[in-house]
């Protein structure tokens, strides 16, 4: 065998051919799913509104996820290992570029000036930056598909950078990741040391170390100078996050209307400004929602929440309630409880406390809407995963193809800000069991960063 053919054999051994096959098969399946798409499907209209043509139905979304994962692996495979490591080590320069360009709202300025391209000199003047430095920041992000140099020294948006234009709530979400994340960053080494040396009491999180032991939610509503405006930014970010996470698809991904009969009360624990009922009620106006949150958030919901008309119709009620205390008597017995993006804020001991209070309220069902991490083992052919016959639910423990870039980043964000965590499927099952819940079907949220609707029932109802 010549050295060249030996090389070819080792390329095949490392999965190159399999990855190419997966990409070809998924691309073909995606095309077929697009052709068989029903134009009146609720998912299709949401996909059109959100500008996500590859998520118009659940099968397309599934194939798009496989394509992304296989492409990520293929890119890693053909990139020299030292480049992969170097890029990971220097990835904070992308954060730096984002921080500066997002603050100057460059994406909106390009859109408003000339969407087909703005000369660097004009752009720099409009955003008040040095032309050369601004161009260098833009060029680094352009290497990641964010902004593009359409001709020498002329800058335009890409679909990615355009998502930041005139999107204050989405930008608030980016800002939350960058601002509070940067405050916590210097405390990670100390946090890791304290945890490994078993110092008691262990610090809650790197952010709490920065904030003199205040929990994150207390700090953002506090009078600390660095916290000024952060509570409002957080609430806006939660609205922006709903779009980042493809939450508008929720009525298509999980059939609230068909699942629950008229008269059902859904208790949205830590429901923020009411984005869940605002999404669900148009498709399921026979349901009622009680949204529970902290005092400051309930006040803001009254002033600026997403549910004005539904509150007026008596279908949504905002109530101050601390999720670490027992549920009020009137909500006990037979209601559906929802915990959306709540439990990942907490370590198991605290998450279990919240669950135990909900379990004591004797719900008919509990829906966890949160990330589930499915490790993508090399031997694990993600492409082989098939959804159940209804095309939406996953078989117990079946692993969907999932890019782990953002889910694992969220895991670290949760650790940084709250001492919380994202969870693997068996970790969810174990946590829920400690509080007396049994996990049933789980529904993927098609355009999210690994979120699922996990249906749970009190364990004795599952028997």
Ligand X SMILES: C[S@@+](CC[C@H](N)C(=O)[O-])C[C@H]1O[C@@H](n2cnc3c(N)ncnc32)[C@H](O)[C@@H]1O
- What residues make contact with ligand X under the rule CB under 6 A? 217, 238, 270-272, 275, 292-294, 297, 322-324, 340-342, 345
Q: How far is the CB of 241 from ligand X (least distance, A)?
A: 6
Choice between 181 and 271, CB closer to ligand X: 271
**How far does Cα 13 stand from its chain's mean position?**
35
Q: How far is the CB of 421 from ligand X (least distance, A)?
A: 13
Choice between 294 and 382, CB closer to ligand X: 294
Q: How far is the CB of 397 from ligand X (least distance, A)?
A: 25
Residue 331 token pair: 């909500």
For residue 49, give every residue at least 6 positions away whose Cβ sits within 8 Å of its Cβ, in sequence order, or none: 248
Choice between 120 and 336, CB closer to ligand X: 336
Choice between 147 and 256, CB closer to ligand X: 256
Q: How far is the CB of 130 from ligand X (least distance, A)?
A: 37
Choice between 217 and 425, CB closer to ligand X: 217
Choice between 59 and 245, CB closer to ligand X: 245
Q: How far is the CB of 330 from ligand X (least distance, A)?
A: 17
Query: Which residue minimizes CB distance to ligand X?
Result: 270
Choice between 64 and 251, CB closer to ligand X: 251
For residue 101, give every residue at least 6 positions away whose Cβ sits within 8 Å of its Cβ, in sequence order, or none: 107, 134, 137, 138, 141, 147
Q: How far is the CB of 294 from ligand X (least distance, A)?
A: 5
Choice between 108 and 292, CB closer to ligand X: 292
Asked if 153 and 119 count as a contact pair (C-beta separation under 8 A), the reply is yes
Choice between 140 and 221, CB closer to ligand X: 221
Q: How far is the CB of 273 from ligand X (least distance, A)?
A: 8
Q: How far is the CB of 301 from ligand X (least distance, A)?
A: 9
Q: How far is the CB of 220 from ligand X (least distance, A)?
A: 9
């Amino acid at each position: 065998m010549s050295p060249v053919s030996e090389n070819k054999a080792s390329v095949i051994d490392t999965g190159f051919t399999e990855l190419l096959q997966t990409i070809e098969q998924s691309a073909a399946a995606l095309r077929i799913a697009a052709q068989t798409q029903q134009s009146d499907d609720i998912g299709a209209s949401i996909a059109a509104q959100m500008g996500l043509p590859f998520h118009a139905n659940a099968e397309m979304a599934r194939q798009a996820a496989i394509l992304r994962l296989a492409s990520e692996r293929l890119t890693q495979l053909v990139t020299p290992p030292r480049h992969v490591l170097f890029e990971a080590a220097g990835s904070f320069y992308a954060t730096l570029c984002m921080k500066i360009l997002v603050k100057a709202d460059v994406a909106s300025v390009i859109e408003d000036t000339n969407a087909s391209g703005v000369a660097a000199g004009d752009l720099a003047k409009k955003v008040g930056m040095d032309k050369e430095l601004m161009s260098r920041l833009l060029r680094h992000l352009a290497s990641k598909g964010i902004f593009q140099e359409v001709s020498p020294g002329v800058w335009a948006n890409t679909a990615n950078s355009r998502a930041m234009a005139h999107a204050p709530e989405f930008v608030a979400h980016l800002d939350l990741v960058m601002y509070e994340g940067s405050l916590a960053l210097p405390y990670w080494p100390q946090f890791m040391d304290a945890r490994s040396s078993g110092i008691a009491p262990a610090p809650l999180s790197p952010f709490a170390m920065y904030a003199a032991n205040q929990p994150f939610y207390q700090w953002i509503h506090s009078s600390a100078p660095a916290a000024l405006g952060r509570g409002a930014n957080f609430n806006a970010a939660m609205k922006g996050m709903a779009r980042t996470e493809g939450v508008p698809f929720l009525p298509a991904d999980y059939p609230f209307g068909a699942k629950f009969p008229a008269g059902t009360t859904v208790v949205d624990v830590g429901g923020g400004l009411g984005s869940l009922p605002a999404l669900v009620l148009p498709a399921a106006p026979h349901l009622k929602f009680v949204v529970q949150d902290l005092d400051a958030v309930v006040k803001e919901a009254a002033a600026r929440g997403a549910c004005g008309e539904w509150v007026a119709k008596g279908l949504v009620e905002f109530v101050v309630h601390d999720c670490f205390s027992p549920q009020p008597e009137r909500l006990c017995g037979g209601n559906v409880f929802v915990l959306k993006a709540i439990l990942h804020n907490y370590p198991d001991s605290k998450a279990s406390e919240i669950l135990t209070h909900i379990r004591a309220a004797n719900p008919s069902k509990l829906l966890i809407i949160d990330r589930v991490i499915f490790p993508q083992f090399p031997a694990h052919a993600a492409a082989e995963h098939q959804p159940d016959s209804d095309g939406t639910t996953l078989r117990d423990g079946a692993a969907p193809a999932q890019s782990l870039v953002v889910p694992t980043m969220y895991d670290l964000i949760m650790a940084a800000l709250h001492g919380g965590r994202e969870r693997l499927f068996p970790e969810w099952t174990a946590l829920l069991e400690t509080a007396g819940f049994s996990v049933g079907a789980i529904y993927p949220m098609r355009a999210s960063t690994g979120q699922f609707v996990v249906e749970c029932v009190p364990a004795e109802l599952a028997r």
